Amino acid sequence: MIAVMSTPEPTAANPNTSFGFRTVTEDERQSLVNDVFSKVAERYDLMNDLMSGGLHRLWKSDFVAALNPPRADAAFRLLDVAGGTGDIAMRCLAAAGPNTSAVICDISPEMLEVGRRRVTDAGLADRITLVEGNAEELPFPDKSFDAYTISFGIRNVTHIDKALSEARRVLKTGGHFLCLEFSDVQVPILDRIYDFHSFEVIPRLGRLAAGDAQPYQYLVESIRKFPKQETFAAMIRAAGFSNVSYRNLTGGVAAIHSGWRI
Amino acid sequence: MTTSATDETATGPRIDPRLLEVLVCPVSKSALVYDAGRQELLSRKAGLAFPIRNGVPLLTVEAARSLTDAEIGKL
């Protein structure tokens, strides 16, 4: 269980930020986020099914369709950030030609361990490599990937602007940035239902399925703190991406943001 | 953190050499040197050694140990 008994005084080097609806210092936030994912890793994909009523599978199909990896022999290198369990990378490879490869970069060792097992079991170890790394400080050279994906990951990053700037750095010219994230529900009535589901249902499901409601409480709160569609699109543009656009999924429960390095 | 070149790392899965070509130090963005014996990736510029566990490189500052002056001198 996440327990913050005392909050250290914020300083210039470690200013305040949010953890769900709580205010914590930046250093604390990263360790709290890591703690959440260490707890939910083994049942992460099952919980996503329960929480979204299976919708996350449809969203991810849309996401991979938006990525549109080459089906022919063309070489294509994908970097999937925060994709620890391997879900997006494996879906992408299933939709792509034989010379598509993926690197999964995640800050959570527990999520990566789940991914490592799945990638090996799927016989994809020669096409998918796993690296533990921070989205804000990527361990890859400039202009080394054709596409960068981040799926339900960016809202857990402490400095989103840094992560976006790193995303642009590692993309080749003409490279595609794609982000799938929970967003702001823009359909009347659906927003009320969604509120009830988020704050009443999800933490209870978390307790039942994963044995702990707290991590899911954080997930729900962090979704609400994340910038809305237009604001996030503006952040992507500010990081230097071109032709930035977004598409709502299920009335804005989630959204796919897209941008290009030109 | 201290890393020892024990049986555990020596018998673990070897890192794919192709992966080494596409990794840089997350701090300095400079090339890394592979120490197969200790299963570490060394960054001369940042003075850090990043561990490799079960074939997965851990390329965060939190996971790294500081290189000694002697170790940096050998790079």
Fold of B7-74: N-terminal domain of TfIIb (2.20.25)
How much is the average pLDDT of A176-181?
A: 97
Closest in A107, A130, A139 to B24, CB measured? A139
Q: Find chain B residues with C-beta within 8 A of A142's C-beta.
A: 29
Contact across the interface for A129 and B60, Cβ inside 8 Å: no
DSSP 8-state assignment for residue B23: -
Q: Find chain A residues with C-beta within 8 A of B58's C-beta.
A: 109, 132
Q: Chain B residue with minimal CA distance to A108?
A: B58
Q: Is B26 on the interface with A (CB under 8 A)?
A: yes
| pLDDT attached to residue A209 | 72
Q: What is the pLDDT of residues A40-83, one digit of tens each?
A: 777 777 777 777 778 889 999 999 999 999 998 899 999 999 99
| pLDDT attached to residue B2 | 44
Q: Cβ distance A168 to A177 under 8 Å?
A: yes
| pLDDT attached to residue A12 | 65
Distance CA A196, CA A53 (A): 14
Q: Find chain A residues with C-beta within 8 A of B61's C-beta.
A: 134, 137
SS3 category, A156 = helix
Which ipTM value was assigned to this complex? 0.83
Q: Give the start-to-end residue ranges of the domains of chain A.
A: 40-185+222-260
Phi-psi category of residue A148: left, alpha or beta, with phi > 0 → left and psi -120 to 50 → alpha: beta
| pLDDT attached to residue A10 | 59
For all residues of chain A together, what is the average pLDDT?
88
How much is the average pLDDT of A9-24?
A: 71
How much is the average pLDDT of B21-35?
A: 94
Q: Is the pLDDT of residue B43 over 50?
A: yes
How much is the average pLDDT of A107-121?
A: 93
Q: Is the pLDDT of residue A159 over 60?
A: yes
Q: Which of A32-41, A57-66, B11-20 has the highest mean pLDDT?
A: A57-66
Q: Is B19 on the interface with A (CB under 8 A)?
A: yes
Q: Where does the pLDDT of residue A84 fall: very low under 50, low under 70, confident under 90, or very high at 90 and above?
A: confident
Fold of A40-185+222-260: Rossmann fold (3.40.50)
**Distances in Å between the alpha carbon of B47 and those of A72, A139, A141, B1, B73?**
43, 15, 18, 14, 10
Considering only A3-12, A16-25, A182-191, B3-12, which range has the smallest mean pLDDT? B3-12
Question: In 3D, which of A158, A151, A147, A109 has the Cα closest to residue A131?
Answer: A109
Instruction: Determine phi and psi for A37, rounding to 5 degrees.
Output: -75, -25
Taking the CA of residue B69 and the nearest CA in chain A, the distance in Å comes to: 23
Contact across the interface for B60 and A137, Cβ inside 8 Å: yes
Q: Is the pLDDT of residue B45 over 90?
A: yes
Q: Find chain A residues with C-beta within 8 A of B22's C-beta.
A: 103, 140-141, 144
Q: Find chain B residues with C-beta within 8 A of A99's C-beta.
A: none
Closest in A132, A137, A142 to B27, CB measured? A137
Closest in A113, A133, A141 to B59, CB measured? A133
Q: What is the pLDDT of residues A18-32, one digit of tens each?
A: 777 777 777 777 777
| pLDDT attached to residue A4 | 37
Q: Give the start-to-end residue ranges of the domains of chain B.
A: 7-74
Contact across the interface for A138 and B25, Cβ inside 8 Å: no
Q: Where does the pLDDT of residue A221 fall: very low under 50, low under 70, confident under 90, or very high at 90 and above?
A: confident
Higher pLDDT, B9 or A237: A237
Considering only A55-64, A128-137, A198-207, B29-38, which range has the smallest mean pLDDT? A198-207
Q: Cβ distance A203 to A175 under 8 Å?
A: no
Question: In 3D, which of A50, A38, A24, A31 has the Cα closest to residue A207?
Answer: A50
Question: In 3D, which of A213, A156, A197 has the Cα closest to residue A19?
Answer: A156
Q: Is the pLDDT of residue A191 over 60?
A: yes
Q: Which of A144-148, A220-224, B66-70 has the highest mean pLDDT?
A: A144-148
